[in-house]
């Protein structure tokens, strides 16, 4: 009979102690790493939930990276658009009717001031973020706008382009022939083209003086026109003859030329002398009309021609570049019906996309460039009546085109700024939502993966007490053998 075998189940006790030791090691690891589990397999039934949360957090991190990129670009846009708006205000400051300054100083400085502002506009439009240009739509790898010197003084630059346009518009007193035949004065367009003045019509306050507008070729009613003023009777002093012409920059913009009959010798400006008969009166009217056209050609028509050149040179979205003008804009062009904002976009949520592209050839930006370029190209010295007239002509056109009433037009600086502001508002809303959702998901993930220090410490203390008790009891019970008892 075996009498020395222990009555206590040692193997079971040791197994239990080993398990508690493993638990202690696990708790020590959790306390050191802050993690409940060392491997994905240890997570157990929460594994799928853990993976889904991590995948969602990864997507949010990607969206947040996109948001940060867009925020940086929108910040540059905001500063750039603010500066362009300030420059537009300065441009309007250059264009004050009759503000020639002391000894014409404003006329003398207009060219240099406009050139300086235009250079700044070009530099602003060529803004880049780490080599990525932001005013060329999605064509961000190159400067969207040519340099000031290329635009103004290049072989096909604006300066030679304006000179060529002046040569076409200003020739032959605004491209109008003046013919006197007996009692009739004819004003005739010198060809079927779009240069210089165009005849619109006329009238007379004397029923005996007829003013008629007819096409040169009856088979081509839209071709070259002629106006005939027939003095069927002598006018009375104070009676008027009016002719209407249009300008090449805008054929809907008309100039009314009104001449009054007079008996004063010499006749004052804006009048024609009543002659001895109808034929003599017609001759005098033709001379007065010629003087008025000469003055208009050297002043207002010169200004209009400069703006007509600007319209052909600084093309907007969807417009074809004039073959004799350089390509000033080198970015993406979505066309007249496209949306420049959609040239650049970013996904900032599962179902939310923000669009924030800008093109330098949008309407408001181009009008600003035109408004500065027409002054930068115009030599308004010496100070005389002609240059003052050109200045006033440019002022009138620029103020109309850069007026605040145009702020609501598509592509204006203000509309672009507003649309970018809406994009920024969407961005901030989604960003806040991501931050909140990210925090919630991280809390849920932490509940699965993170080991709270206080909880682990309490478990370790409890387990230590159990282990110590197990060691002590095991030691005591292990001595309960029959041999020891018989002693």
The string of pLDDT tens digits covering residues 321-338 is: 899 999 999 999 999 999
| Per-residue model confidence (pLDDT) at position 33 | 60
Instruction: List Cβ neighbours of 160 (8 Å cut-off, separation of 6 or more).
Output: none
pLDDT band for position 235 (cuts 50, 70, 90): very high
pLDDT band for position 105 (cuts 50, 70, 90): confident
> Is residue 86's pLDDT more than 90?
yes
Task: Compute the 3-state secondary structure of the chain and give helix, strand, coil in percent, each to the nearest 5.
Answer: 55, 15, 30
DSSP state of 456: H
Gap between the Cα atoms of 441 and 434, Å rounded: 10
Mean pLDDT, rounded, for 442-459: 63
Gap between the Cα atoms of 323 and 335, Å rounded: 18
| Segment 66-71 long-range contacts (CB within 8 Å, at least 24 positions apart) | 66/346, 66/347, 66/348, 67/346, 67/348, 67/427, 67/430, 67/431, 67/434, 69/346, 70/346, 70/348, 70/354, 70/356, 70/423, 70/427, 71/424, 71/427
Q: What's the gap between Cα 254 and its chain centre?
A: 31
Residues 334-391: tens digit of each pLDDT? 999 999 999 999 999 988 999 999 999 999 999 999 999 999 999 888 888 999 999 9
In the structure encoding, which two tokens stand for residue 332, read together?
Answer: 């993406």
**What domains can you pick out in the chain, each with its CATH number?**
63-154+326-431 (1.20.1330.10), 171-304 (no CATH)
| Per-residue model confidence (pLDDT) at position 381 | 83
Q: Are 97 and 395 in contact (CB under 8 A)?
A: yes
Mean pLDDT, rounded, for 96-124: 86
Instruction: List Cβ neighbours of 50 (8 Å cut-off, separation of 6 or more).
Output: 40, 43, 445, 448, 449
Q: Nearest to residue 411, comparing CAs of 120, 81, 78?
A: 81
Residues 169-197: tens digit of each pLDDT? 999 999 999 999 999 999 999 999 999 99
Instruction: List Cβ neighbours of 390 (8 Å cut-off, separation of 6 or more).
Output: 298, 299, 302, 303, 378, 380
pLDDT band for position 63 (cuts 50, 70, 90): confident
In the structure encoding, which two tokens stand for residue 68, read together?
Answer: 């940060």
Q: What is the pTM of this model?
A: 0.82
Gap between the Cα atoms of 375 and 110, Å rounded: 6
Gap between the Cα atoms of 423 and 407, Å rounded: 19
Gap between the Cα atoms of 296 and 229, Å rounded: 20
Gap between the Cα atoms of 96 and 395, Å rounded: 6
| Per-residue model confidence (pLDDT) at position 4 | 47
> Is residue 62's pLDDT more than 90?
no
Strands 271-273 vs 250-262: parallel, antiparallel or unpaired: parallel
Gap between the Cα atoms of 69 and 64, Å rounded: 9
In the structure encoding, which two tokens stand for residue 303, read together?
Answer: 């200004």
In the structure encoding, which two tokens stand for residue 215, read together?
Answer: 């096409």
| Segment 75-82 long-range contacts (CB within 8 Å, at least 24 positions apart) | 76/127, 76/129, 76/134, 77/134, 77/356, 77/358, 77/420, 78/417, 78/420, 78/424, 80/124, 80/125, 80/127, 80/134, 80/135, 81/413, 81/416, 81/417, 81/420, 82/417
Q: Are 243 and 228 in contact (CB under 8 A)?
A: no
Task: Determine the Cα angle at 39 with ends 38 and 41, to 5°.
Answer: 135
> Is residue 443's pLDDT more than 80?
no
Residues 9-50: tens digit of each pLDDT? 556 666 776 776 666 666 566 555 656 565 555 555 565 666
């Amino acid at each position: 009979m075996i009498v020395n075998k222990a009555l206590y189940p040692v193997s079971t006790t040791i197994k239990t102690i080993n398990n508690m030791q493993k638990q202690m090691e696990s708790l020590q690891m959790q306390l050191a790493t802050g993690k409940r589990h060392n491997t994905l397999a240890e997570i157990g039934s929460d594994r799928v939930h853990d993976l889904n949360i991590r995948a969602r957090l990864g997507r949010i991190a990607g969206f947040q990276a996109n948001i940060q990129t867009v925020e940086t670009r929108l910040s540059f846009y905001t500063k750039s658009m603010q500066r362009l708006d300030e420059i537009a205000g300065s441009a309007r400051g250059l264009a004050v009717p009759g503000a020639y300054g002391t000894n014409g100083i404003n006329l003398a400085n207009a060219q240099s001031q406009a050139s300086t502002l235009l250079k700044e506009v070009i530099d602003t439009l060529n803004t880049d973020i780490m080599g990525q240009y932001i005013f060329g739509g999605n064509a961000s790898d190159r400067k969207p706008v040519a340099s000031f010197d290329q635009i103004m003084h290049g072989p096909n630059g604006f300066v030679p382009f304006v000179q060529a346009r002046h040569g076409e518009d200003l020739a032959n007193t605004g491209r109008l022939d003046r013919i006197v035949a007996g009692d009739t004065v004819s004003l005739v367009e010198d060809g079927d083209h779009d240069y210089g003045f165009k005849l619109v019509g006329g009238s007379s306050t004397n029923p005996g003086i007829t003013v008629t507008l007819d096409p040169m070729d009856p088979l081509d009613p839209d071709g070259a026109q002629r106006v005939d003023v027939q003095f069927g009777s002598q006018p009375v002093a104070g009676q008027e003859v009016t002719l209407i012409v249009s300008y090449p920059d805008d054929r809907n913009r008309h100039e009314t030329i009104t001449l009054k009959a007079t008996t004063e010798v010499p006749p004052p400006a804006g009048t024609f002398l009543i002659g001895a008969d109808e034929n003599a009166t017609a001759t005098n009217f033709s001379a007065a009309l010629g003087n008025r056209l000469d003055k208009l050609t050297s002043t207002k028509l010169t200004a209009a021609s400069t703006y007509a050149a600007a319209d052909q040179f600084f093309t907007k979205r969807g417009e074809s570049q004039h073959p004799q003008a350089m390509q000033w804009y080198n970015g993406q062009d979505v066309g007249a019906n496209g949306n420049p904002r959609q040239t650049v976009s970013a996904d900032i949520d599962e179902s939310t996309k923000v669009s924030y592209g800008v093109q330098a050839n949008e309407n408001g930006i181009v009008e600003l460039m035109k408004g500065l370029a027409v002054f930068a190209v115009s030599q308004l010295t010496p100070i005389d009546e002609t240059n003052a007239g050109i200045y006033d002509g440019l002022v009138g056109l620029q103020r109309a085109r850069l007026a605040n009433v145009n702020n609501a037009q598509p592509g204006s600086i203000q509309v672009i700024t507003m649309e970018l502001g809406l994009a920024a508002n969407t961005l901030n809303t989604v960003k806040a939502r991501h931050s909140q959702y990210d925090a919630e998901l991280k809390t849920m993930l932490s509940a699965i993966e993170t080991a709270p220090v206080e909880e682990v410490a309490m478990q370790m203390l409890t387990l230590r007490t159990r282990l110590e008790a197990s060691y002590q009891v095991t030691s005591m019970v292990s001595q309960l053998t029959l041999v020891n008892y018989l002693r």
